[in-house]
Chains A and B, each alone.
Chain A
């Protein structure tokens, strides 16, 4: 099987480094893509479940723009809704009625939602959620999970990262995932001081197996927090609309007070949302939180079309079926080469690890070899499938995976 050349990507990267810090920053940085020589840096175009880089290499994409592309790139219904709205107005001096239509649709779709608020990125709404929790309770502290990711605001980042000060974490308490006793301890220790508990619906850290909630975990959490007057905030930015269209909490059987969505809500158009229970609406109204482009109507129209399409095709089922199909094939191929591929998390957004090597070096080699053959795999992050991935894509992916296992044999 041929492997790809990335000379144009590398040339663009050299240009980028002259004018952009780090060349490519944040979660798109090439740094966690190991070996970096196996990965493209710059894309040219994308369609369905595929993207093409600036060297003309075609990839079956298993990162889906790190989650947003739930229906596949350039989905006709979503793109048409966006284009139609753009003909009318996008950024404007006054609000668009599309915002109202989108909020109404979400309130109908999401059982706990009595209201919706829109922004651009996940961190906009996770921040907003904690502000509402503080406004509603009059308390300072927020509990979060160790290794949980809620964006890049200082309080969300781990201690020691550049640009942070100790005070940023003064009111954030981190506890281990799935550890109800730890939650009980901090709730008792800081009785009357805790405003909210923020967590993803299941634990999906990078570089580690993903973990579902233990049996009864969320129900016990919900009960304890209600008793103590602490708000339960679900960060559904990554999982949202993939596990259940009503919010991932429905999948796990519990009711949070606030849910933060982003990524899949607009199939790639820039929009995020916070939805909440009725009693919090007046506090949400009092917290001042806004941004220059938060009222852009184009992404709202795209989100409305995206959510309607997700509902029409029952997207969580499609994603689960697609993910299971992909995973079963990869596990079988790994086994045929003498490896055990461990798959954790939801099938449609699973994390993969070859258990023969705890250092991840083998995993990195295999993902790299797959990528340079046309199946874009990362070794550090959970993957994503879309509803656009086809059986043909999966067969091609399995062929690539098979060839990549042959390539790493004996290394």
Chain B
């Protein structure tokens, strides 16, 4: 098992996609990216790649190569990429040298804002808006990370191999967020929003419960018994995806 490769894929596929939500959820960020017209490619030598495309205040994340990125950032290895995500490494720019200022200033501010929302503390969590954004981003990150771990990590892959096929919807009452995972024998795909006919559902009573559980401050069994988390449908799907979810933190700290 190549832990660095797994972490690189989680960084590129599970963490990076959060920019899509961030530009929608945070007013300051929405304002600052409004005029951005830039695409950034992240590529690892013989490894995973992903891109972010900012146009008209909207961000689109895509797995694989962008056809014509304005900026191309190259990494010699998964470890090299992971070091950048940890804040201790720098990429090799292959294209977009004139935009280095943008990378160093504007984009760095954006990544710091994402980090701010993904690293809560008690004081930040007192703020309802912060709590909602943190919960939304954490939920989406988790869903995408589950997809990657089920495919790549041996223990998670073994768990996934005996998980029934179906659709798991995870959501928060009363107004979301919702995410759903479509499980087939080949793997998992992630959809944002609710699903019309899920096979199993995990529904949090409120954003506070979701935030506490996803933040590791609430025991899942306790949450279920206290009806802060309601389970329904094919519980073996929830059990197994829960096992994979619990391993995400080993890779994304």
A307 to chain B, nearest CB (A): 35
Query: In whole angstroms, how far apart are the Cα atoms of A270 and B144 in the complex?
Result: 46
- Cβ contact within 8 Å between A159 and B159: yes
Q: Which of B156, B198, B231 neighbours the largest number of chain A CB atoms within 10 Å of its CB?
A: B231
Q: Does B234 touch A at the CB level, under 8 Å?
A: yes
Residue-wise interface mask of A (151-169) relative to B, using a CB-CB cutoff of 8 A (1 in contact, 0 not): 0000000111110001000
* Interface footprint category on B: 20 to 34
Contact of B243 among A37, A160, A361 (CB under 8 A): A160
Contact of A159 among B158, B198, B200, B222 (CB under 8 A): B158
- For chain A, residues 274 to 326, give those with C-beta under 8 angstroms from any C-beta of chain B: none
Q: Does A41 touch B at the CB level, under 8 Å?
A: yes
* CB-CB under 8 A for A207 and B236, given A29-B221, A41-B225: yes
Residues of B within 8 A of A24 (CB): 221, 225
Contact of A34 among B155, B199, B235, B243 (CB under 8 A): B235
Query: In whole angstroms, how far apart are the Cα atoms of A29 and B231 in the complex?
Result: 13
Residue-wise interface mask of A (28-47) relative to B, using a CB-CB cutoff of 8 A (1 in contact, 0 not): 01111011110001000000
Residues of A within 8 A of B235 (CB): 31-32, 34, 207, 360, 380
Q: Tally inter-chain residue pairs, CB-CB below 8 A.
A: 81
* Interface footprint category on A: 20 to 34
- Cβ contact within 8 Å between A161 and B243: yes
Residues of B within 8 A of A338 (CB): none
Closest residue on chain B to residue A162 by CB atoms:
B246
Query: In whole angstroms, how far apart are the Cα atoms of A361 and B199 in the complex?
Result: 8
Query: In whole angstroms, how far apart are the Cα atoms of A380 and B235 in the complex?
Result: 8
Contact of B232 among A14, A34, A147, A166 (CB under 8 A): A34
Residues of A within 8 A of B155 (CB): 159-160, 166
Residue-wise interface mask of A (15-29) relative to B, using a CB-CB cutoff of 8 A (1 in contact, 0 not): 001000111110001
Q: Which of A29, A160, A358 neighbours the largest number of chain B CB atoms within 10 Å of its CB?
A: A160
Closest residue on chain B to residue A31 by CB atoms:
B224
B240 to chain A, nearest CB (A): 8
Residues of B within 8 A of A30 (CB): 221, 224-225
Residues of A within 8 A of B233 (CB): 359-361, 364
- Cβ contact within 8 Å between A31 and B221: yes
Query: In whole angstroms, how far apart are the Cα atoms of A13 and B225 in the complex?
Result: 8
